[in-house]
Structure 1
């Protein structure tokens, strides 16, 4: 029988204690106490005439003046049997011994004199007294601000500690110094592997070796080598740093702790350092293991740069603890730290040294071959048409990161669906590029015919100059449809150069100034439409003079400091500054005059191109070939190749006839 009861008790549902039950119970007690401890709900408020009517009938047993403002009227027991009182009792929550009426009399002195006069004249029999009463509700309301402040404090403490509303929630307030890292182990295995990471071959080799360190440590330690303490992934946003870390988590097969640099930072002193200690303690207990800190620059910024914070800055304390845990006394644990950041230049030098982050892996923007691999990954789930050319898309997207390509593929699917297509066509991908780079197409933007003509000649000027110059980027298409903040655009296919020579930069500057030059030649006026062109050209010219040392007057000097320490100080004199400004202006004006000269020679073709642009609104490379023919330098290359072939044929050796 005992066993049976025991089983029943064990199988009975277990109810978890919830702190909100206490809040609800206290609230109900307050309401109930107020309801039953006072006659407020039972008392009917009466007017002056009603009060004196009841008083003259001699039905009042007691009058109590409460807090010198309100009179509580108690009716005699024998008078309560009257019909008008019975009706009121039946329609209210009246209980015996409670006041039946309340009368707000106003001035107390006048009220007392009036009541005494009526009592004397009519020989009335009732009790009159003054009382001061403070209700429980009034007391509660006076303490309500303090109760709200305490409740808010408890709420935020629960949120910061990750506590719930249950019994353990209050205890978790004291766990605020615990690490917030998410643990991925055999029970919560990450499905991302290196197969999901396209491109980034060099970076993949580095992190794959880290995984191999953890899987086969004897392979390296047998030769006397040591497993690296950490690896820092550095690169522009969207290049796949976090994706690489996910792949490491999926491939390593060891416990993987993942968190952000901002997870260490709190408003309480010492919390960040405490979380660092707890994180490395957990990782050491589960070693071999990996810790991944995303956006480490949140806590790893160089110390002492900001004089406003002082030496007791919470972020600096957190960084000091991280430095100690990564390479200090007692750090011979088999724990590898992987971190990612977009801003390696702001990190503390002590964090970057060998022994902490032994490897710095630069994750660069993908080249054309890597972009093709990334496209192959992202188009797998898409329903494509037969005309999609992935190689051309890879060529069309220089400077795109992996995240940009993923966004482009998704945008192309949305565009195709918006147009009611059953599959995604090549043009949908091109429209997605335009949408991402240029912005949303605004066909309903109000543009006058005169403005439209100026825009057409401006864009035709860009296209003409870029077609005529050897080192300018080849044109893909020109449009005068407003998109984003631009009123028109010319799309180019820039070559992916590792180094850029002076002639190449000057040709690009000339092509950029072609729009303003076309306005000057055709209308003999210039407009504000070339603002972005002028900004781009000025930056290029200043970089040529002050950064790359490509100017003869300034010489082989660079005023660029990669550390960024001299951002508020000019590294050159006033005389040099005048020389720099003069050379920048001279360089820009020379390219502007060059653009004017080219467009004057090709004014008829420029006008034909602009009129075609006004008619079609969008023109492509084929349209330019019909107007201008082959690019001049391309014809020279073809002629040189044909001459070389002819010369080879002329000097080709004659086969000798074998002797009989």
Structure 2
């Protein structure tokens, strides 16, 4: 059936192509035969003197059209063209060479009075009956219009017939987008769709689930709320970093609500044509009102919800702002009794327009933060159900090994561990496969075959040994898990830490972190008396850490309790600093002072433990990978917080 339809379409295509070719041929032939042939004025007077001209028409006092008598149209008096002497004269020869065609010739004249006097003189001299006519007005008849433009309009009609033939009745054909460009692209889910995701499949996010569950419950049992005078919320905005589960929550709402659910992205409103975005917003809400009560989910709403008046060209027609204005009107305009709830998600809440965030539009702002330790355990349980695991898999251990990981990161760890186990031809996934997956995601692919010169490898070993030593010796530095000089990703070596999950950070803790980051370059200077470019990432992190302490967190005595942080996100649109040049100089001086102090502090600690540093570096050169037990043998035992100590013991 499909092949037959395709064949029919091809047949229609060839029919249209043949018709188009025929009409194009007629059009060009008409142009070829109807265009007058150019001659000069002397040639005309020569033809006129022979009595061959029946009529001339002078148009607009400058162009003369020449009409020959019938007996001379096809039978010009010409001898054998192979003999030049048989021609009457050169002008007669020129007439033949121009072309033997019926209809008219034309030429241009300069002075009309001079031409008219000469014409009358020759007419009297040779007793000619040639007529002369003058046309100074535009001569345009219906017949001439059809001859000149009829072919063009006919071809245009055939083209549109061809387009309409390709548009399917359901509006899904190739040409249907021309007529549906202002229609909403939202996908509708209702009770007939098999949406299997529910709130049981969303691990963690207890606070966010409670908020959206109440919205679902309102749609199902709205009488319980309205009898107390409550109103249905207009909208809920999910805010959080990428991968934390905002879209997953929306899918769970679609699976639980059992009401029509419209899903689309903020970029679906964006189009190159003026007015299309606002038209799609109107069409979306019209469809939603027909299905109410219902839910509209707009993912990545920052595509159309950016604050108005920011980074726009003066005098330009900002189509995005028109779309946002229409959305604001639809969410809270004069029609306030519609049971349409708008659910939106973004990770750029700082750039959203204030009018969009006010109560009455988005009544609830739901924060979807990265999961805590207990939430990571639940997320691991969800993703581990589908995997073939060995008996010794410890979910608590995996959750503690992934601080700061989002739900998407944990899903990636589980999938990567399965791929690693399959690559090693194992029947089940082990703990080590998960650790390798975490290393792969954080540090990149291990490159054991990368060629490194012996002197470079030795410098790398001392650099990483410096990091490991300082992190072990400082009280507030993150405890070391392992250190390696095997290249991974873009790094030539790396040290893995287990940072303490804390809500507040003190200046002492931040300074210890800066000191441990500078320890790699300090070790290079102590051993080799020179430094290298290997500390680029360390220096970048150190500079940002020091700058945040001084200019954001107010942890500097000279600057005082002042913060230049802008939580509204408007600094990115500003071309000026929020402080004076004098303050900027003070900030630069304090950043330099703090980094210098911690660098000297790292050098002092490493000089005091230089022998142990050398032993650690040699062990790294020999084994390439060292763990916590190896450092404990060299530097002695270190006390850790109870929670981290338990994890390190498990490891």
Q: Scaled by the length of structure 2, what TM-score is found?
A: 0.75
Q: How much has 1:386 moved relative to structure 2?
A: 2.3
Aligned CA distance change for structure 1 residues 356 and 20 (closer, same or farther; 3 Å):
farther
- Number of the residue aligned with 1:349: 354
Aligned pairs for 1:82-231 (under 5 A) are 116=82, 163-165=171-173, 169-170=175-176, 173-231=178-236
Secondary structure, aligned partner of 1:116: coil
User: How far apart in 1 are the matches of 2:639 and 2:352?
Assistant: 50
- Number of the residue aligned with 1:291: 296
User: How far apart in 1 are the matches of 2:249 and 2:282?
Assistant: 26
Aligned CA distance change for structure 1 residues 15 and 523 (closer, same or farther; 3 Å):
closer
- Number of the residue aligned with 1:594: 601
Q: How much has 1:408 moved relative to structure 2?
A: 1.4
Secondary structure, aligned partner of 1:245: helix
- Number of the residue aligned with 1:440: 445
Runs of 5+ in structure 2 lacking a partner? Answer: 29-36, 38-77, 87-96, 103-147, 646-651
Aligned pairs for 1:378-393 (under 5 A) are 378-393=383-398
Q: How much has 1:116 moved relative to structure 2?
A: 3.2
- Number of the residue aligned with 1:527: 532
Q: How much has 1:17 moved relative to structure 2?
A: 12
User: How far apart in 1 are the matches of 2:18 and 2:188?
Assistant: 43
User: How far apart in 2 are the matches of 1:15 and 1:522?
Assistant: 79
- Number of the residue aligned with 1:411: 416
Secondary structure, aligned partner of 1:339: strand
User: How far apart in 1 are the matches of 2:322 and 2:476?
Assistant: 53
- Number of the residue aligned with 2:64: none
Aligned CA-pair RMSD: 3.8
- Number of the residue aligned with 1:234: 239
User: How far apart in 1 are the matches of 2:329 and 2:20?
Assistant: 54
Aligned pairs for 1:7-22 (under 5 A) are 22=12
Runs of 5+ in structure 1 lacking a partner? Answer: 1-13, 39-67, 69-111, 121-127, 133-138, 639-660
User: How far apart in 1 are the matches of 2:425 and 2:178?
Assistant: 54
The correspondence for 1:562, drawn from 552, 567, 573, is: 567
User: How far apart in 2 are the matches of 1:188 and 1:632?
Assistant: 56
Secondary structure, aligned partner of 1:285: helix
Contact 1:408 1:432 survives alignment (8 Å): yes
Matched, 1:573 2:580: yes
User: How far apart in 1 are the matches of 2:282 and 2:261?
Assistant: 16
Contact 1:19 1:165 survives alignment (8 Å): no
Contact 2:351 2:570 survives alignment (8 Å): no
User: How far apart in 2 are the matches of 1:292 and 1:34?
Assistant: 52
Contact 1:517 1:596 survives alignment (8 Å): yes
The correspondence for 2:615, drawn from 605, 608, 616, is: 608
Q: How much has 1:264 moved relative to structure 2?
A: 1.0
Contact 1:230 1:356 survives alignment (8 Å): yes
Contact 2:606 2:613 survives alignment (8 Å): yes
- Number of the residue aligned with 1:48: none
- Number of the residue aligned with 2:17: 27
Contact 1:234 1:341 survives alignment (8 Å): yes
Secondary structure, aligned partner of 2:570: coil
Aligned CA distance change for structure 1 residues 260 and 309 (closer, same or farther; 3 Å):
farther
Aligned CA distance change for structure 1 residues 247 and 553 (closer, same or farther; 3 Å):
same
- Number of the residue aligned with 1:460: 465
Q: How much has 1:498 moved relative to structure 2?
A: 0.5
User: How far apart in 2 are the matches of 1:238 and 1:154?
Assistant: 44
Q: How much has 1:311 moved relative to structure 2?
A: 6.6
Q: Scaled by the length of structure 1, what TM-score is found?
A: 0.74
The correspondence for 2:435, drawn from 430, 434, 450, is: 430
Matched, 1:326 2:334: no
Aligned CA distance change for structure 1 residues 620 and 154 (closer, same or farther; 3 Å):
farther
User: How far apart in 2 are the matches of 1:17 and 1:248?
Assistant: 46
- Number of the residue aligned with 2:273: 268
Matched, 1:482 2:472: no
User: How far apart in 1 are the matches of 2:100 and 2:173?
Assistant: 48
Q: How much has 1:620 moved relative to structure 2?
A: 1.0
- Number of the residue aligned with 2:515: 510
Residues 60-84 of structure 1, C-alpha deviations (whole Å, 9 max, x = no match): xxxxxxxx9xxxxxxxxxxxxxxxx
User: How far apart in 2 are the matches of 1:452 and 1:113?
Assistant: 101
Residues 637-660 of structure 1, C-alpha deviations (whole Å, 9 max, x = no match): 99xxxxxxxxxxxxxxxxxxxxxx
Q: How much has 1:256 moved relative to structure 2?
A: 0.2
The correspondence for 1:620, drawn from 618, 627, 630, is: 627
Q: How much has 1:216 moved relative to structure 2?
A: 0.3
Secondary structure, aligned partner of 1:570: coil
Q: How much has 1:409 moved relative to structure 2?
A: 1.1
User: How far apart in 1 are the matches of 2:199 and 2:402?
Assistant: 24
- Number of the residue aligned with 1:136: none
Secondary structure, aligned partner of 1:375: helix
- Number of the residue aligned with 1:56: none
User: How far apart in 2 are the matches of 1:158 and 1:520?
Assistant: 74
TM superposition outliers: structure 1 runs of 4+ over 4 Å: 14-21, 28-36, 112-115, 128-132, 632-635
User: How far apart in 2 are the matches of 1:386 and 1:196?
Assistant: 24
